[in-house]
Amino acid sequence: MSRGGAAPKPGKPGVRGGRAAGVGRKTTAWGGRILQEGTPGSPVLRLFVRWVRRPLLPAVRLWRRNIQLRVVASTLLMSLGVVLLLGFVVIGQVRNGLLVTKEKASESQSAGGFAVAKDKASAPAAPGGQDDGSSDGRAGSSVTWRSELVTQLASGGQGAFYVVALSADSEDSGSSNRGPRASGGVDPVASVPQSLRDNVDQGTGAYKTYASIKYLDGQEPKPGLVIGTKLKDVDGQAYQLYYLFPLAQEEKTLSLVKGTLATAGLFLVVLLGAIAWLVVRQVVTPVRMAAQIAERLSAAKLQERMKVTGEDDIARLGEAFNKMAQNLQIKIQQLEELSRMQRRFVSDVSHELRTPLTTVRMAADVIHEARVDFDPVTARSAELLAGQLDRFESLLADLLEISRFDAGAAALEAEPIDLRDVVRRVIEGAEPLAERKGTRIRVVGDDQPVVAEADARRVERVLRNLVVNAVEHGEGRDVVVRMGVAGGAVAVAVRDYGVGLKPGEATRVFNRFWRADPARARTTGGTGLGLSIAVEDARLHGGWLQAWGEPGGGSQFRLTLPRTADEPLRGSPIPLEPEDSRAARERARQGAAAEQGNGLRLASVPVQPAATRSSLPVPPRPPVPPRTSGPAADPTALPGGGGARVVPRVSDARVEGESVPSQAADTAAAPAAADQEESARGR
């Protein structure tokens, strides 16, 4: 939407004295705002979010601005992932291979031991036994039989394996000849898992499992492979025989493989990072150079060029960039030369026309003074000649002033002035025109000093142009001049209730020689350069000159200046859109209706019917209480000619909702019908 008739943004109050239609609704989108400023919630939560954000912001800013860092970091992360994946695969394969080899060797070793134990248990008794069948000789040998068996089987291990003999779970193990036996100081009960013992006791073959081998002498437990089976001793009693194979050597081998892979992977990742850094540097360096050269070209250093080496793609890019810069330099120089010629032509013509214009003025004054002796037709011609000569002189003066701004020769003579005195002089000069138009000029906000460092002559010229335009196009209604001061800014707003501005015209009204209806001849108004010069004067002060208007609702022009020279503006004490605009009144009615619907008691705002308003020559002026809200940022730039950037009207609507109101506001209804025909505005 254009600046002339913009509505406020949804969800933000746009009317002072009332709320918008969406009153009472609150935004609770925590997920999308948890890392943004202004996070809703308790102060503790906001403090925590700020504490988390503070160390991350520099890193995030560096990550977003440095493409070389992003490429190298991405390469390192991906390389690390690939190395880890390959390491896990290789280590898994090595571990499985070691375990398979260990299991095969262990099964072969344990099978031989089990066969030896079975053969020894089935061997005939030793000589010297009794012939009466008492078996005392075999009984005597069974006392040490298991111990001798464990010692004999473990004698070939030499630490490569251990042998453990345990009584079967179904027999009594309380007697000394049936107790646990183990070699190498191994804890026989703790080293064999109970689950394996149950399987061995219930089965007939050999069973195996991985367990931790524990020692009675305080050594650290070691992982191992336990293989066991159920056999019978010389007495025919069942017992369990186990082989325990430590995996210490396999662990050392696996640790060596892990260390080798980790070292090789680390060197590989670092090497890949260095390679990525070197490769990316070859690409990023010319891009950075191009960016630096582009910045220097944008800073008017048109002679800067890229250094081109080689014949690759980057070199062709540099050559194309240099050729583009050279063409731009030639075009800009041509345009600058043409602009200088145009400015020189305008300045020379304006100066050269002054001499013949002075002669013509003298002759016209003589003819004008003697018009009483002429016939009516000649007398009228003399009057028209004098009037057009006045316009011609004004046009020459404006052209000379514009040429000074274009050439950069305009100088600012700033000194502390009270804008109330300037406004008073402007109103005194415009009183004769206001009396002829039937317009009354009212001043609001002059109850306190409005002091700023400014050029009094230029500020008076700006305000005179605004006030005269408001009187000429106000259609006989009141013109309100409002002044305000807050923070580091002062402002003067001129409000009229004439035909207003159509949507989009508020941005074009500052263009040179712009007219609302170009089909009509310029028979009224000024030279068409007044607002263009006013914009340049405001910009010379470092201030803003902005316009607002709506069809049939009048317009308002606001001049905002810094209180101290060279101080940047952050806001304006006066909102650009007046409070008595149709959109503001509609928002006030909607806000009042919404609050009444929520059960709130609000004072009703009297609105006069259209017929009553149109019959009154002067709109009513209900007082508005002063407000004390602080100034907010106003990002809008100076609109109009001279290549100034024009900010859309929606930005102004946002600024108005946050700007500082004047110390004394005056609200008036616009007494113009919506279907009133708009006349041409020759500002």
Helix/strand/coil (H/E/C) assignment for every residue in 173-207 = CCCHHHCCEECCCECHHHHCCHHHHHHHHHCCCCE
Burial group, residue 295, by CB count within 10 angstroms (0-12, 13-18, 19+):
exposed
Residue 338 has a pLDDT of: 83
Mean pLDDT of all residues in the chain?
A: 74
3-state secondary structure of 165: strand
| CA separation, residue 601 to residues 11, 542, 627 (Å) | 22, 45, 21
pLDDT, tens digit (0-9, with 9 covering 90-100), for 3-21: 433 333 334 333 333 333 3
Say if residues 530 and 646 touch (Cβ distance below 8 Å). no
Q: Please answer whether residues 639 and 554 qualify as being in contact, where contact means their C-beta atoms are separated by less than 8 angstroms.
A: no
For residues 110 and 245, what is the distance between their CA atoms, to the nearest angstrom?
10
State the Rg of the chain over Cα.
50
Percent of the chain scoring above 70 in pLDDT = 74
Contacts of 176 (CB under 8 A, 6+ apart): 143
Residue 383 has pLDDT above 60, yes or no: yes
pLDDT of residue 505: 79
**Mean pLDDT calculated for residue range 132-158:** 67
How sure is the predictor about 218, in pLDDT bands with cuts at 50, 70 and 90? confident
- Given a contact cutoff of 8 angstroms between Cβ atoms, the answer to whether 225 and 232 are in contact is no
Predicted confidence at residue 642, as pLDDT, reads: 34
Mean pLDDT score, 208-227: 89
- Range with the lowest mean pLDDT among 99-103, 423-427, 569-573? 569-573
Strand residue runs (E) in 276-376: none
Find the angle CA(206)-CA(210)-CA(213) to the nearest 5 degrees: 105
In 192-312, alpha helices (H): 194-202, 248-298
Tokens representing 419? 């804008």
Spatial distance between the Cα atoms of 85 and 93, rounded to a whole number of angstroms: 12
- pLDDT, mean of residues 58-70: 82
Rounded CA-CA distance 119/111 in Å is 12
> Could you tell me whether strands 415-418 and 222-232 are parallel, antiparallel, or unpaired per DSSP bridges?
unpaired
> Contact, 545 vs 462, CB < 8 A?
yes
Q: pLDDT > 90: what percent of the chain? A: 12
Q: What phi and psi values does residue 246 have, to the nearest 5 degrees? A: -65, 145
Strand (E) or helix (H) holding 73? helix 67-121
What's the confidence (pLDDT) of residue 659?
36
Q: Write down the pLDDT at residue 515.
A: 66
* Stretch 397-418: mean pLDDT: 75
Q: Which tokens belong to 271?
A: 């090497």
- pLDDT on residue 227: 93
Average confidence (pLDDT) over 421-432: 90
- What angle is formed at CA 280 by the lines to CA 275 and CA 282, rounded to 5 degrees? 100
- Poorest-confidence range of 6-10, 165-169, 188-192, 240-244? 6-10
Separation CA 207–CA 666 (nearest Å): 101
**How many CA within 13 A on the CB side of residue 519?**
1
The predicted structure's pLDDT at residue 88: 92
Cα dihedral 607, 608, 613, 616 sign: negative
CA 286 to chain centre: 28
Band of residue 171 on the pLDDT scale cut at 50, 70, 90? low
Of the candidates 210, 205, 157, 203, the residue with the CA atom closest to the CA atom of residue 183: 157
Q: What is the pLDDT of residue 491?
A: 92
Least confident of 196-210, 380-394, 599-613, 660-674: 660-674
Most confident of 437-451, 521-535, 623-637: 437-451
In the prediction, which pLDDT does 611 show?
Answer: 31
Question: Which pLDDT value is given to residue 477?
Answer: 87
Tokens standing for 94?
Answer: 């090595």
Predicted local confidence at residue 661, as pLDDT: 34
Rounded mean pLDDT, 617-635 = 36
| Average pLDDT rounded to a whole number, residues 278-285 | 85
Give the pLDDT confidence score for residue 169 in this predicted structure.
Answer: 61
Domains within the chain, CATH numbers bracketed = 2-96 (no CATH), 98-253 (3.30.450), 313-404 (1.10.287), 417-682 (3.30.565.10)
Tell me the average pLDDT across 191-212.
Answer: 89
Q: Quick one: average pLDDT of 209-224?
A: 88
Q: What are phi and psi of 432, to 5 degrees?
A: -60, -45
Q: Are 193 and 226 in contact (CB under 8 A)?
A: yes
pLDDT at 448 over 80: yes
Q: 278 in helix, strand or coil? A: helix
For the cut 60, the answer to whether the pLDDT of residue 503 exceeds it is yes
Could you tell me the two tokens for 420? Answer: 């109330």
Beta-carbon count within 10 A of 221 CB: 13
Task: Quote the pLDDT of residue 89.
Answer: 93
**Mean pLDDT on 161-179:** 69
pLDDT of the residue at 568: 83
Predicted local distance difference test score (pLDDT) of residue 305: 87
Residue of 194, 114, 24 whose CA lies nearest to 590: 24
- The span from the CA of 502 to the CA of 584, in Å, is 17
How many of the other CB atoms lie within 10 Å of CB of 277? 17
Rounded to whole angstroms, the Cα distance separating 365 from 382 reads 9
